[in-house]
Structure 1
Amino acid sequence: MTTSYDCSDPAQRSEGLAAAQRAVSLKQCVVLPTDTVYGIGADAFSPQAVATLLASKGRGRNMPPPVLIPRIQTLDGLATDVHSDARRLAEAFWPGGLTLIFHAQPSLTWDLGDTLGTVALRMPDDDVALELLTLTGPLAVSSANRTGQPAATTAADAAAQLAESVSVYLDAGPRTSGDGTGSTIVDATGEVLRVVRQGTLSLERLREVVPGVVGIDGIDGIDGEESIRRDQ
């Protein structure tokens, strides 16, 4: 059974977070707000839960979901060979609309799909999301829409697309951007940090912290092509 909770009401927020925590522990999917769009989340360490998430969206293993974390300190437990410039970006823009791709810790027993040994991490700037992540630990989270459809900016948008494939909907109102823009994604697996998807953070803002960040073309600009398929 699917249940929706109005997180603007303190009692429903508390009840909804507890219900979402239970659902995650049962390998079920939940919809949660982030600072960019609504996301569909599942236990990052459960292959069954991640497979359910991908099936709910209608996508395959070749489109692995990013992982949301509750605090910046979690980064070192999930990623290895963290570049100092990537750490500077995380410290500057987390929580916020920045996703960083790292080499995953090889000791982790998870299966996010065909990641080629990488993991995309983000700390969202949303109180409900962070409270849930504190309760559950890292969640695999992708935008709460069917593949090929617009990202959900309200819980109702998400429910219209995902319906009963999700156990719990946490409704925290419309996302402030209102246009379905996701996070900016930076590949931090090499010596040079590269933007691979333009989102809420511009290349110029990133360069205020790390001047050497490059765009997709390898020089200055960012073309509109998404070179990897991670969307939260």
Structure 2
Amino acid sequence: TSAFTLSEFENEIAHVRTFGTSIASTSTGASLIAGEVHERLKARLEQELSVLAASGWSVEELRGVAQQDTVVASRKLNAARPYIEEHSSLIRRLVCLPWNRDIALALDVEASLRDPLKIGVLGERVAGYAQHLANRPVEDEDFKLTPWIPKPPRRTLLPVPEHGALPTMMPADALGDAHEAMLIAMEGEDEQAVEPRVASPRVQASIVRPNESPAEPKA
């Protein structure tokens, strides 16, 4: 990706977001974002998974996917993020159901509430659960669903940019971070390609029009 133009970088990210694989994919079909961008994407994904794990989320399956394909794992996490943010709303919908009519199902739901990849399915099945439980007899009058609630995330301090540094925005996800890395790499290449021209003290600067040849400097 080091030779990509800005447009090509945009196309690469769009392709990854849509299909889950890089345009520069291997012959086996495995996802590939090479070099520094891939490493940055991998590091950002692990950072996000560590934050979730610290809050109590079960991220073992996502980490297993990440070992095989970082891009696929990032896409799965991005798809699960809206459900993670609505976790408390899902709990409010679930606790209203009569779970004492199917305790085995209730215990399975409690375990699934910790898995980022399963909470979306739970939300889609609430209506089905309600119908299922309504047609069953009570198994234990005293049983109540005990939903898992994630711990509040720890606040971390971000480094303050040095005076004169350009402000940057924190990417919302790992793929966004990879996109930012691509743009930063391009900016670095542009800065190296354009070197400042310093005029010699003995040479008088003059305006050179496009159709004229530069005049010979006077001794």
TM-score in same-fold range (> 0.5) = no
Q: Which has the higher helix share?
A: 2
- Bigger Rg, which one: 2
Structure with the higher fraction of residues in strand conformation: 1
